A = this chain, B = another copy of it.
Amino acid sequence: MAVIVQKFGGTSVGSTERIKNVARRVARWQAQGHEIIVVPSAMAGETNRLLALAREISSSPDPRELDVIAATGEQVTIGLLAVALHELGLKAKSFTGPQVRVLTDSTFTKARILKIDQERMRKALADGNVVVVAGFQGADEHGNITTLGRGGSDTSAVALAAALKADECQIYTDVDGVYTTDPRVVPEARMLESITFEEMLEMASLGSKVLQIRSVEFAGKYKVKLRVLSSFADEGEGTLITVEEKRNMEQAIISGIAFNRDEAKLTMLGVPDRPGIAYQILGPIGEANIDVDMIIQNIGRDGTTDFSFTVNRNDYRKALGILDQIRQSIGAREIAGDNTICKVSAVGVGMRSHPGVASRMFGALAKENINIQMISTSEIKISVVIEERYLELAVRVLHKAFGLEKPPKATLGLTGRGETDIISPA
């Protein structure tokens, strides 16, 4: 008997008919003797409807109140799903985030989970219930309702799985797994059987909208076995997100091409080149709760340097305003910005042992005359910032350049490292 957390996205619970389908799927798992915790999102469109109501009243509604409003979306779904489970003859009980004490910090609209009390869920499971917990929400130490930000239900599911030491956390979504890139951009994109946490993290943070980034961080940190599956297909094992060592069959150099359209670039030109400048610029940005992604500082000339970074496009105006305010005190010459850029990345643990990935990438882009504005690299990822209008072209070109449309060779000895990999018995 295993403890399994199953998360269902908004599309999967988008109507009462679909909620009944989810209940049937949960029932099949429970019939196999597993203890099930289900974490549904709000019904598709519901969160947007609720936030739109608030925006009809105010152009900048108070975040605390937004959370009070938005948290109701998931609360409706848990009740409906519990009712659907009862209808199949199962015992089931719903709980809101605050009810199972999903303790978060007080950063309304993007709170972070600090702790989860498992007592109430354990008791309900022991009583034979399917436990239905509202994703996306929690409460801070003062009992204020908080939400975890868009896609936060994934994080809720993984955090619950970690707290309950679940055997697997299954993320049901409207795709059947993780692909080498978005199939809407590249029709030849291929589903991956498995992907490492690190790769998934890079894919997620770069805009592959399958999983929320924090959920993958959480899963990696707490060693939660994570699986992405389709909530519509009855077949298919989906994509397993796992630690690198177990992933031998599919050792390609690059696992996927990720991209993110919602980017904006800001540059402070002619910044005095002295220690502490980065902190002086990014401190106020961080205090305003704006996430900074890529950061690049050019080599100084004549005692000054240029300092660039990218933020989510929604935060562009706000970030620009902050730079305006601090420009004089920093002694910078000028501020420049561009919110028609995008980021495209090649991701893969294979590049650790394969030099030449960067040059193959830059070559492919150069051949199409796509100008690279910024470059950022990590051990398993190379990202470039380019003009937004070249996004689809760049993704297609890179997908082909790394041969991602072909399944990787699964023969022993042919993996990137040239070592004989151990294959575990099926």
> Per DSSP, are chain A's interface residues mostly helix, strand or loop, or mixed?
helix
B68→A96 contact, CB < 8 A: yes
Asked whether any CB of chain B lies closer than 8 Å to the CB of A87, the reply is yes
Option from B57, B68, B82 in Cβ contact (under 8 Å) with A94: B68
A83→B96 contact, CB < 8 A: no
Mark the stretch among A59-67, A212-220, A367-375 that contacts chain B. A59-67
Mark the stretch among A48-56, A256-264, A379-387 that contacts chain B. A48-56
When distances are taken between beta carbons in the complex, the residues of chain B under 8 Å from A99 are 143-145
A interface, size bucket: 35 or more
- How many angstroms between the C-alpha atoms of A358 and B58 in the bound complex? 57
A169-202 CB mask vs B (1 if < 8 Å, else 0) is 0000000000000000000000000000000000
- Chain B residue at minimum C-beta to C-beta distance from A143: B99
B76→A72 contact, CB < 8 A: yes
Please report which residues of chain A, range 57-104, place their CB below 8 angstroms from some CB of chain B when the two chains form the complex: 57-58, 61-62, 64-69, 71-72, 75-76, 78-80, 82-84, 86-87, 93-94, 96, 98-99
Asked whether any CB of chain B lies closer than 8 Å to the CB of A325, the reply is no
When distances are taken between beta carbons in the complex, the residues of chain B under 8 Å from A68 are 75, 78-79, 82, 94, 96
A80→B53 contact, CB < 8 A: yes
Please report which residues of chain A, range 126-155, place their CB below 8 angstroms from some CB of chain B when the two chains form the complex: 143-145
Asked whether any CB of chain B lies closer than 8 Å to the CB of A7, the reply is no
Kindly report how many copies of this chain are found in the complex they form together. 2
A97 shortest CB reach to chain B, Å? 12
B94→A76 contact, CB < 8 A: no
- Chain B residue at minimum C-beta to C-beta distance from A75: B72
When distances are taken between beta carbons in the complex, the residues of chain B under 8 Å from A110 are none
- How many angstroms between the C-alpha atoms of A145 and B94 in the bound complex? 10
Asked whether any CB of chain B lies closer than 8 Å to the CB of A203, the reply is no
A34 shortest CB reach to chain B, Å? 22
Option from B62, B72, B83 in Cβ contact (under 8 Å) with A72: B72
B58→A87 contact, CB < 8 A: yes
Asked whether any CB of chain B lies closer than 8 Å to the CB of A347, the reply is no
A80→B69 contact, CB < 8 A: yes
A111 shortest CB reach to chain B, Å? 16
B53→A66 contact, CB < 8 A: no
When distances are taken between beta carbons in the complex, the residues of chain B under 8 Å from A16 are 53, 56-57
- Chain B residue at minimum C-beta to C-beta distance from A72: B72
Asked whether any CB of chain B lies closer than 8 Å to the CB of A341, the reply is no
- How many angstroms between the C-alpha atoms of A67 and B144 in the bound complex? 20
- How many angstroms between the C-alpha atoms of A67 and B80 in the bound complex? 11
- Chain B residue at minimum C-beta to C-beta distance from A15: B56
When distances are taken between beta carbons in the complex, the residues of chain B under 8 Å from A69 are 75-76, 79-80
When distances are taken between beta carbons in the complex, the residues of chain B under 8 Å from A145 are 96, 99
- How many angstroms between the C-alpha atoms of A75 and B68 in the bound complex? 7
A349 shortest CB reach to chain B, Å? 43
A57→B20 contact, CB < 8 A: yes
- How many angstroms between the C-alpha atoms of A414 and B76 in the bound complex? 58
